[in-house]
């Protein structure tokens, strides 16, 4: 991940008291592989200074006030508490805060994100989509218009195919590959990595992981489609064909993408 991507990617904050790192390293690695910029070892009293977070995970022993978790949730972050192995949630715990038990695995993390309706497209990435398209087309407005319209058409088609694919891992793999390329061209790094992980899970026959990832990739693709469709020229009729590559714009659907 380069510096520009790090500025726009979803951000995760992991809170754990000193001497309680049991789940921290593995969780941070998994999240980075899924496109998060991860911040760790922030003491709970200081954590209210953190802003623009998409995910907050705290050890039950960290003592994060429920009011702070509520404030993060109100700003749109997914919040979760990590319990020791075998522990049960405390009575009266906030139902909007997810619970996980250590050790945290990719499977449990993905399932939690899917249940919490996580969308892998940050507000910062959304704000940069138009600029990313302009950069890909070298500032040429005609080429940018063509690429934008192609992206709208292809993202709509890929989303429909992903929703129909179900347990057909071959179909899922193909859609994930195409969405990975689309996400790259609009600067949506987290979606690109989620789609790439989905492609690999489908290729490897890992149906459970593919299903959990698809539950995140599909609403994220829907969000991307809505953002693309709102950009100027997205729906102009004079060039809104279903032809995905005219030769003027980069061959963003190349299988090697």
Q: Where are the domains of the chain?
A: 3-115, 123-229
If one looks up domain 3-115 in CATH, what number appears?
3.40.50.2300
In this prediction, residue 256 carries a pLDDT of: 47
32-36, 58-62, 99-103, 251-255: which has the minimum mean pLDDT? 251-255
Would you say residue 145 has pLDDT above 70?
A: yes
**Once rounded to an integer, what is the mean pLDDT over residues 119-128?**
94
Contact 111, 211 (CB under 8 A): no
Question: What's the rounded Cα separation, in Å, for the pair 203 and 194?
Answer: 14
**Once rounded to an integer, what is the mean pLDDT over residues 85-98?**
78
For domain 123-229, the CATH architecture is Up-down Bundle (1.20)
Strands ordered across the beta sheet of 78-83: 37-40, 11-15, 55-59, 78-83, 98-101
Predicted confidence (pLDDT) per residue in 193-226, tens digit: 999 999 999 999 999 999 999 999 999 999 999 9
What global pTM score does this model have? 0.86
In this prediction, residue 51 carries a pLDDT of: 63
């Amino acid at each position: 991940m380069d510096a520009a991507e790090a500025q726009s990617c979803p951000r995760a904050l992991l809170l754990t008291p000193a001497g309680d790192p049991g789940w921290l390293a593995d969780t941070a690695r998994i999240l980075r592989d899924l496109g998060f910029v991860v911040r760790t070892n922030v003491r709970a009293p200081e954590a209210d200074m953190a802003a623009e977070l998409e995910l907050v995970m705290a050890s039950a022993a960290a003592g994060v006030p429920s009011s702070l978790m509520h404030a993060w949730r109100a700003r749109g972050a997914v919040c979760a508490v990590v319990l020791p192995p075998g522990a049960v949630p405390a009575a009266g715990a906030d139902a909007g805060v997810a619970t996980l038990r250590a050790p945290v695995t990719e499977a449990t993390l993905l399932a939690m994100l899917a249940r919490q309706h996580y969308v892998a497209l940050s507000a910062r990435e959304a704000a940069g989509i138009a600029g990313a398209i302009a950069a890909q087309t070298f500032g040429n407005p005609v080429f940018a218009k063509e690429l934008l319209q192609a992206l709208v058409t292809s993202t709509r088609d890929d989303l429909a195919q992903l929703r129909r694919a179900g347990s057909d891992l071959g179909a899922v793999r193909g859609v994930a590959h195409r969405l990975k390329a689309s996400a790259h061209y609009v600067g949506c790094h987290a979606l690109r990595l989620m789609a790439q992980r989905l492609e690999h899970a489908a290729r490897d026959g890992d149906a459970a992981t593919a299903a959990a990832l698809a539950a995140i990739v599909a609403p994220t693709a829907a969000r991307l489609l809505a953002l693309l469709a709102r950009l100027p020229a997205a729906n102009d009729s004079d060039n809104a064909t279903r032809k995905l590559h005219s030769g003027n714009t980069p061959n963003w659907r190349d299988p090697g993408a």
